[in-house]
Chain A
């Protein structure tokens, strides 16, 4: 008896969905073993996550809160991934957007909300794009691998951010006649810059609307426009793209403007909708988690919505795990890592078929 591995020429739609579902199931099973190792009953743990994240109105609303940045970021990632350009620095582009919006909000605190908020989103988009585009240039002109540069750019900005929190942006607080600065956090931005919420929740609906629109728009851009056509040609066969006169640097640059810009807007939403100020814990890894959902959801708005909703629920459930079962916080990173690992590993099944003979 031997295993034979062969290239698969086409994978049907149903099969690709089945493989994706199976990959998540395999990740859940693996983590179940880890939970059991901690002496916990996996059924209770998963039951807890599920009922917490999806079972109550409050939990559902929190799940949506986590889904918003994930959906916005992953829409852009799915688009630029079509060109086989691997932007794994959305975390930095997210931060760039938030920082730019913070500057806008603190410099123009008296602008009315209906002007200030759109301005913040616009500037946040530009900042995210600006932080992403150099990597596209470096790839196109100098042939520097974008997996390295996009990740490095995140570290650069994160350190700048950490420095501003200890320096120029560190809030000075006044108690009576005493002015001091102690904790590493910024001032709270003007209430004019706060996003409206759905009554009784933390769901900042303007960003939610943007995210859903972005998922649909990204799909339409890829499948219906000349630029989307160029993205697909560049991703599938850069040599043929060159012969057809399609400019690689133009395509990946525009792709990174969109991808970085959407990540930047997600950062704006997080600052203006939830946090309202910067703390050292402003970044929670949405930029990385969105890589998982961009893969899982593919270039399909429904797929993106489902994948991000589920991962949002997992994040919520993870917080609950920490509190309820006193599991270490790293467990959630491990959870997400396991999912990504299995999603990528199962991609193999979409490209090859394995058969057992004799």
Chain B
């Protein structure tokens, strides 16, 4: 597909299936939104017609979520017009949006844990104060039936899986009368089966003439469920095309602006001695229950061991225990044969363990400190970055200049506060800090979560380079494809245990999905 074709396709291309009559459900014209230093939306045009699933595709920071937050009234646009069902509207708050029949399911669910599903749905609807739960329950069952949104109205939210909580969010939106539904990266917390079920729900809603906007950066999902795709890059619309007339390759090119490697070159690496050995590890989670239940694993130098699984099955606690951030209840952790069980994070880091933490903003960087200062977060008290009690800014800045260049961190200057960097560059900063000391063991938790295609590719390549250098990499990710593509061996974690271990290619996706859902144990016991 030529570039010219892409541009001419802008706001063109109609959905294949239902509902061409009448005005579009939503038309956004010339939307401009500026944040300090950033043009998040640059004269964006967008259209949603009844009876379509419209994917909004783009890298992180492309402006997808900003555009949808404007439609849902969380931000107000600096310029531009919004029409809903043909009428120009001003959406000043989510309340306005809901009144216009717009619903949004955010990436992070907004539910009250200690209340039941029905109570959560009833919250916020004034009319249900008189006829409370019976009516709500009835309508929940009705929605469940009609769209395949299976959920028990009397279950407590804390008992629900992420997939079920998402269904509750969708029901909440439907209950409020939404026929325009926005989903912000809805599949990031789902197993493959749950993802398929969600897509089925979206198809049923489309067939009823509702409009669904689906924010994503995953190409295969676009191809699986969308009728049309609008691609954003750096705040601008690159084009709108029917999904049936495009393919993943050309979408990726539109999204990134250049060719993208889909298959990473993964060379053969001679596997070395065990670097990380975990024996019968038990770790208590935040709620006081055992989150890791007897995990045993060995990761050798030159090997990537991937842990697949839905979030909340003990992955976080496992990584934190190895990094020294969480107490081990029983069992042992050895690094290169040395027992480090319950040692401090500093000691463990000193043993050559690098940690790329999940929630990189919360655990990985100090937002108001400069890029240079962040790059020595783990080594500020060592030569040459300090002598005695004094910091050596000359060495700190030289180190920063070197790492910024080597790891291709895009930053205005090494003195820029780290919080002003994009997600991908923050992750590159963390990798630069963690990998530059040639660690023996790398703990990488969701290293590409929320990153755009370009940044994802570069982070994955970094991990593979570290593997070639001889690091033992423990990779936790919810992105199953990532785990299968990068890992030499894969363990599936469910309920705090490794319920299956195999080499990629030995087991099909279906099987892996069932293990992730805790339905089946298995896989060949791949030798360590």
- Among the 9-residue stretches A24-32, A241-249, A269-277, the one with 4 or more Cβ atoms under 8 Å from chain B is A241-249
Tell me if B366 is interfacial: C-beta within 8 Å of chain A. Answer: yes
- Whether, in the assembled complex, A10 has its beta carbon less than 8 Å from a beta carbon of chain B, the answer is yes
Interface size on A, residues (CB 8 A): 25
**Nearest opposing residue in chain B for A233, CB measure:** B366
Which chain A residues numbered 118 to 154 have a C-beta less than 8 Å away from chain B? Answer: none
Query: In the complex the two chains form, is A10's CB within 8 Å of B367's CB?
Result: no
Give chain B residues whose Cβ lies under 8 Å from the Cβ of A233.
Answer: 366, 369, 377
Question: CB distance A242 to B37 under 8 Å?
Answer: no
Give the residue of A2, A10, A245 whose beta carbon is less than 8 angstroms from that of B417. A10
A242 to B420, CA, bound (A): 22
Stretch from A155-163, A224-232, A300-308 that touches the partner: A224-232
Give CA–CA (A58, B146) in the complex, Å.
87
Q: Are B366 and A225 in contact (CB under 8 A)?
A: no
In the assembled complex, which residues on chain B have CB atoms less than 8 Å from the CB atom of A242?
A: 325, 345
Contact A240 B368 (CB under 8 A): no
B324: A residues at CB distance < 8 A: 245
Contact for B419 among A8, A9, A243, A245, CB less than 8 A = A9
CB proximity to B under 8 Å, residues A334-358: 353, 357
Most chain B CB atoms below 10 A, which of A4, A229, A244, A357: A244
Tell yes or no: B373 within 8 A of A by CB: yes
On whether the beta carbons of B373 and A237 are closer than 8 Å, the reply is no
- Within the complex, what minimum Cβ distance (angstroms) separates A11 from chain B? 10
Closest chain A residue to B324, Cβ basis: A245
- B378 in contact with A245 (CB, 8 Å): yes
Q: Which residues of A contact B35 (CB under 8 A)?
A: 6, 9
Q: Which of B211-219, B263-271, B383-391 contacts A (4 or more CB under 8 A)?
A: B383-391
Cβ distance A140 to chain B, nearest Cβ, rounded Å: 15
Residues of B within 8 A of A333 (CB): none
Q: A240 contacts B377, CB within 8 Å?
A: yes
Chain-A contact segment, one of B45-53, B226-234, B357-365, B478-486: B357-365
Q: Are B76 and A9 in contact (CB under 8 A)?
A: no
- Kindly state whether residue B36 has any CB partner on chain A within 8 Å: yes
Partner pick for A236 among B357, B367, B391, CB 8 A cutoff: B367
A202 to chain B, nearest CB (A): 37
Interface residues of B in 421-439 (CB under 8 A from A): none
| Alpha-carbon distance between A179 and B227 when the two chains are bound, in angstroms | 102
Residue A191 is within 8 A (CB to CB) of chain B in the complex: no
- Give Cα distance in the complex from A244 to B346, angstroms: 7
Interface status of A239 (Cβ within 8 A of chain B): yes
Cα distance A301–B444 in the bound complex, in angstroms: 43
Query: Does any Cβ of A come within 8 Å of B355's Cβ?
Result: yes
Report the Cα distance A8→B367, complex, angstroms. Answer: 14
How far, in whole Å, are A357 and B80 apart by their CA atoms in the complex?
13
Given contacts A9-B37, A10-B417, A232-B369, contact A243 B363 (CB under 8 A): yes
- Report if B147 contacts A (CB, 8 A): no
CB–CB B325/A229 < 8 A: no
Which residues in B have their C-beta under 8 angstroms from that of A243? 323, 325, 345, 355, 357, 363-364
The CA of A236 and the CA of B365, in the complex, are separated in Å by 9
Flag whether B460 is at the interface (Cβ < 8 A). no
- Per the bound structure, the CA–CA distance linking A10 and B418 in Å amounts to 12
Given A10-B420, A226-B381, answer yes or no on A236-B366 (Cβ-Cβ < 8 Å): yes
Tell me whether A225 and B389 are in contact (CB under 8 A): yes
Establish whether residues B390 and A244, one from each chain, have CB atoms under 8 Å apart when the complex forms. Answer: no
Considering the complex, give the chain A residue whose CB is closest to the CB of B320: A243
CA distance A245 to B393 in the complex (A): 21
Q: Is B156 an interface residue (CB 8 A)?
A: no
Residue B349 is within 8 A (CB to CB) of chain A in the complex: yes
Is there an interface contact between A225 and B325, defined as CB atoms closer than 8 Å?
no
Which residues of chain B come closer than 8 Å to A357, judged between CB atoms? 76, 78
Cα of A312 to Cα of B50 in the assembled complex, Å = 70
Chain A's nearest CB lies how many Å from the CB of B386? 5
A240 touches B391 (CB 8 A): no
> Considering the complex, which residues of chain B in the window 92-134 have a beta carbon less than 8 Å from any beta carbon of chain A?
92
Q: Look across to chain A and name the residue whose beta carbon is closest to the beta carbon of B36.
A: A9
Contacts of A227 in B (CB 8 A): 389
A8 to B347, CA, bound (A): 38
Q: How far is the CA of A256 from the CA of B362 in the complex (A)?
A: 26
Smallest Cβ-Cβ distance to B38: which chain A residue:
A9
Query: Measured between alpha carbons, how far is A217 from B176 in the docked complex, in Å?
Result: 60
Q: Are B391 and A225 in contact (CB under 8 A)?
A: yes
Hey, which chain B residues are within 8 Å of A232, CB to CB?
A: 366, 368-369, 373
| Per-residue B-contact encoding for A1-25, CB less than 8 Å = 1, 0 else | 0101010111000000000000000
**Interface residues in B308-328 (C-beta closer than 8 Å to A):** 323-325
Interface string of B226-246 (1 = CB under 8 A from A): 000000000000000000000
Partner of B362, one of A2, A228, A239: A239
Chain B 23-36 per-residue mask, 1 if CB under 8 angstroms from chain A, else 0: 00000000000011
Shortest CB distance A195–B (Å) = 30
Contacts A9-B419, A240-B364, A240-B365 hold; do A226 and B386 have CB atoms under 8 A apart?
yes
Q: How far is B386's CA from A236's CA once the two chains are assembled, in angstroms?
A: 21
Nearest CB to that of A220 among chain B residues?
B390
* Cβ-defined partner of A244 (8 Å) among B36, B345, B391: B345
Query: Could you say which residues of chain A place their CB within 8 Å of the CB of B380?
Result: 226, 229
* Inter-subunit contact B349/A245 (CB<8 Å): yes
Chain A CB within 8 A of B8 CB: no
- A residues bordering B, Cβ < 8 Å? 2, 4, 6, 8-10, 224-229, 232-233, 236-237, 239-245, 353, 357
Tell me the B residues contacting A by CB distance below 8 Å.
Answer: 35-37, 76, 78, 92, 323-325, 344-347, 349, 355, 357, 362-369, 373, 377-378, 380-381, 386, 389-391, 393, 417, 419-420
Known contacts A10-B420, A240-B366, A245-B344; 16 further A-B pairs (Cβ under 8 A): A2-B92, A224-B391, A224-B393, A226-B389, A226-B391, A227-B389, A232-B368, A236-B367, A237-B367, A242-B345, A243-B323, A243-B355, A243-B357, A243-B364, A244-B345, A245-B346
Q: Can you name 29 A-B residue pairings with CB atoms under 8 Å?
A: A2-B76, A2-B92, A6-B35, A9-B36, A10-B420, A224-B391, A226-B381, A226-B390, A227-B389, A228-B391, A229-B380, A229-B391, A232-B366, A232-B368, A233-B369, A233-B377, A236-B367, A237-B367, A240-B365, A242-B345, A243-B323, A243-B325, A243-B345, A243-B357, A243-B364, A244-B349, A244-B377, A245-B324, A357-B76
